[in-house]
Chain A
Amino acid sequence: MGGTKRSNSSESDRDRMRVTREEALALFRKMSQIRRFEERAEEAYGRGMIGGFLHLYIGEEAIAVGALAGLEPEDDVITHYRDHGYVLARGVDPKRVMAELYGKSTGLGKGKGGSMHLADVSRHLWGGYAVVGGHVPLAAGLALANQYRNLPRVVSCFLGDGATNIGTFFSSLNMAALWKLPLVVIVENNRYGMGTAVKRASAVEDIYRKASAFNIPAVRIDGNDVLAVRDAVRDMARTARAGGGPQMIEAMTYRFRGHSMGDPQRYRSREEVEAAKAADPIDRWRRYILERNLAEEEELERVIGEIETELEEAVRFAEESPAPEPAELCFDVVVEE
Chain B
Amino acid sequence: MALKTYREALREALREEMIRDERVLIMGQEVGVWGGTYAVTRGLLDEFGEKRVIDTPIAEEAIVGAAIGAAMGGLRPVAELMTINFSLVAMDQIVNNMAKIRFMFGGQMTIPLVVRTPAGWGQLAATHSQTFESWFAHIPGLTVVMPSTPADAKGLLKTAIRSENPVMFIEHARLYGTKGEVPEVEYTLPMGVPDVKRAGRDVTIVTYSRMVNVALEAAETLARDGIECEVVDLRTLRPLNLAAVYGSVEKTHRAIILEEDWTTCGMGAEIAARIGRDRFDSLDAPVERLGQVEAPIPYAKNLEALMFPDEALLIGKVRGMLA
Contacts and interface: CB of A to CB of B under 8 A. Distances in A.
Interface of A: 76, 78, 107-113, 117, 119-121, 126-127, 129, 131, 134-146, 148-149, 167-168, 171-172, 174-175, 178-179, 331-335, 337
B59 interface: yes
Contact of A334 (B64, B72, B106, B143): B143
B97 A134 contact: yes
Nearest to B141: A333
B165 A141 contact: no
Contacts of A334: 102, 140-141, 143, 165
Contacts of A112: 103-106
Contact of A333 (B61, B64, B71, B103): B103
Contacts of B93: 134, 137
27 contacts: A108-B106, A109-B106, A109-B108, A112-B106, A113-B106, A120-B108, A134-B93, A138-B72, A140-B62, A140-B66, A142-B73, A143-B69, A145-B73, A148-B25, A148-B75, A149-B75, A167-B61, A171-B59, A174-B57, A174-B59, A175-B57, A175-B59, A175-B62, A333-B103, A333-B140, A333-B141, A335-B110
A137 B69 contact: yes
A113 B108 CA distance: 12
Nearest to B77: A141
B67 A141 contact: yes
A137 B75 contact: no
Contacts, number: 141
B103 A332 contact: yes
Interface string B93-104: 100110001111
Contacts of A139: 69
A114 B96 CA distance: 15
Nearest to A119: B105
Do most interface residues of chain A lie in helix, strand or loop, or is the interface mixed?
A: mixed
Interface of B: 25, 51, 54, 56-57, 59, 61-62, 64-75, 77, 92-93, 96-97, 101-110, 140-141, 143, 163-165, 191
A120 B25 CA distance: 26
Contacts of A117: 104-105
Do most interface residues of chain B lie in helix, strand or loop, or is the interface mixed?
A: mixed
Contact of A337 (B72, B102, B141, B164): B164
B68 A141 contact: yes
Best-buried of A78, A171, A174 by chain B (most CB within 10 Å): A171
B72 A145 contact: yes
Contacts of A335: 102, 110, 163-165
B307 to A, nearest CB: 32
A148 B107 CA distance: 25
6 tightest CB-CB pairs across the interface, nearest first? A141-B69, A137-B65, A145-B73, A332-B107, A109-B106, A171-B59
A113 B105 contact: yes
Given A175-B62, A333-B140, A138 B97 contact: yes
A74 B66 CA distance: 20
Contacts of A332: 102-103, 106-107
A337 B108 contact: no
B75 to A, nearest CB: 5
A171 B74 CA distance: 22
A145 B75 contact: yes
A337 B65 contact: no
A172 B66 CA distance: 8
Nearest to A145: B73
Nearest to B65: A137
A245 to B, nearest CB: 15
B106 A149 contact: no
B295 to A, nearest CB: 30
A72 B62 CA distance: 26
A138 B71 CA distance: 9
A254 to B, nearest CB: 29
B191 A337 contact: yes
